Amino acid sequence: QGCTQKYIVKNYFYYYLFKFSAALGEEIFYITFLPFTYWNIDHSVSRRMIIVWSIVMYIGQVSKDILKWPRPLSPPVVKLEMRTNAEYGMPSTHAMAATAISFSFFTATTNQYKYPFELGLVAAFVFSTLVCLSRLYTGMHTVLDVIGGALISAVLLMLLYPAWDTIDHLLLTSPFCPLFSIVVPLVLCYNYPKLDYYSPTRGDTTTILGAAAGATVGFWLNNQYAAPAHTSKSFQPGFPLVTSAMVLVLARFFLGILVVLLTRWVMKSVVLGALGYRYKFPIHDLQARRRLEVEVPYKFVTYSSVGFTATVIVPLLHELLGLM
């Protein structure tokens, strides 16, 4: 499973297009696009996207390890990725995440911003389709995996949509929100389906739930202390984006990403060091880091700190520096 096949790229346009599209379903996209939405577009849109994303991804990851459908055989398939090769295939969580994020963003913004409905629908469809096709191109999924992932995500979106406002209201106002947001994801992570061999699915699921938990606590705190909800008016179609507005958007984004990445690096070092001291293992011991009692707290604390920083600390810095 750790070996890569040699291959020759004959069409560099497709190669880079689908390699880039595959990255739209990975951490690098989540850690940039979701905070960007919160800092520069609209708090309510970002909250709904994060709620849907975390629920959809948890169900998708667990489904993989319950169904245990293998990925495409290689050979004959040439696989362009190896990190997730140890995971099972059905459903494609890339397809689920792309469908959930693109269509939840479209649904959440269509009632708040004036833009052509058809344009938003096409953009959501193109985004999700590119990510789905990338999983076939890179050899990581079958057609059935991808279709199954997209359909499951679509069904979950339809089931969650009527409850969006209720869930959002409870997460902002309930006094039990912080406790619920931390305890429930931790219970789910510690009771993740057990496999006969190590797979990154549990760690990835913990990362997602941890980030969502930290962000949710941040949403609640912001609401309790009457932090002004950011709603971008400069993004309304029909109004040109002036240079000063673009500078503010870029400044908020790059400052925020710098702080978020710094938080992730610091927390990884601190938490892993503490766990290494507690369980007596060197921090570079990969096998020790995969143990349940290490992996779950390590990833959960790290990424809940990232979620909290993105929703509380970074906006405070933006306000302090006059970037709001």
Number of C-beta neighbours around residue 285 at 10 A = 13
Note whether 22 and 92 are within 8 A (CB): no
Count CB atoms within 10 A of the CB of residue 10.
7
Residue 232 within a domain: no
217 and 298 assigned to the same domain = yes
- Give 166's contacts (C-beta < 8 A, 6+ positions apart): none
CA distance 188 to 58: 9
Using the CB atoms, write b or e for 230-244: b if 16+ within 10 Å.
bebeebeeeeeeeee
User: The domain containing residue 197 runs over which residues?
Assistant: 165-226+240-323
C-alpha gyration radius of the chain:
20
- pLDDT above 60 (res 181): yes
Query: Which of 109, 127, 161 is at the close of a domain?
Result: 161
Same-domain pairing of 150 and 3: yes
- Crossing angle of helices 27-40 and 243-279, in 10° steps, is 130
Residue 2 and residue 151 share a domain: yes
pLDDT of the residue at 226: 59
Q: Which whole number is the average pLDDT over 212-218?
A: 92
Residues 76 and 116 in one domain: yes
Contact 5, 78 (CB under 8 A): yes
From 134, 161, 188, give the residue that closes a domain: 161
Active centre residues (catalytic): 94, 141
pLDDT digits (tens, 9 = 90+) for 18-69: 888 888 777 788 888 888 888 888 888 888 888 889 999 999 999 988 888 8
d(CA 257, CA 251): 10
Q: How many separate domains does the chain show?
A: 2
Domain-embedded: residue 112: yes
Locate tokens 């985004």: which residue?
127
Count the Cβ atoms, other than its own, within 10 Å of residue 179.
11
> Does 209 score more than 50 pLDDT?
yes
Verify that 88 and 8 share a domain, yes or no: yes
178 and 63 assigned to the same domain: no
Q: How far from 319 is each of 154, 222, 234, 314, 323, CA to CA, in Å? A: 37, 13, 18, 9, 6
**Does residue 78 sit in the same domain as residue 118?**
yes
Ranking 68-72, 83-87, 144-148, 300-304 by mean pLDDT, the lowest is: 83-87
The answer to whether residues 79 and 185 belong to one domain is no
Which pLDDT score, from 0 to 100, does residue 235 have? 42
Q: Are residues 274 and 176 in the same domain?
A: yes
Model confidence at 239: pLDDT above 80: no
Q: 231 by DSSP, 3-state: which?
A: strand
The answer to whether residue 231 is domain-embedded is: no
**Is the backbone of residue 257 left (phi > 0), alpha (psi -120 to 50) or beta?**
alpha
Query: pLDDT confidence of 238, banded at 50, 70, 90?
Result: very low
Predicted pLDDT at 303: 93
In a domain, 106, yes or no: yes
Please say which residue of 114, 129, 161 terminates a domain: 161
Q: Kindly state the average pLDDT of the residues 250-264.
A: 91
Residue 145 belongs to a domain: yes
Residues 120 and 180 occupy one common structural domain: no
Contact criterion met (CB below 8 Å) for 167 and 126: no
- Mean pLDDT across 70-95: 76
> Is 174 a member of any domain?
yes
The Cα–Cα gap between 194 and 196 comes to 7
Number of C-beta neighbours around residue 263 at 10 A: 21
For residue 234, tell me if it sits in a domain.
Answer: no
Residue 233 lies in a domain: no
Using 50, 70 and 90 to split pLDDT, how confident is the model at 293? confident
Residues 84 and 140 in one domain: yes
Residues 200 and 297 in one domain: yes
For the segment 232-254, the average pLDDT, to the nearest whole number, is 64
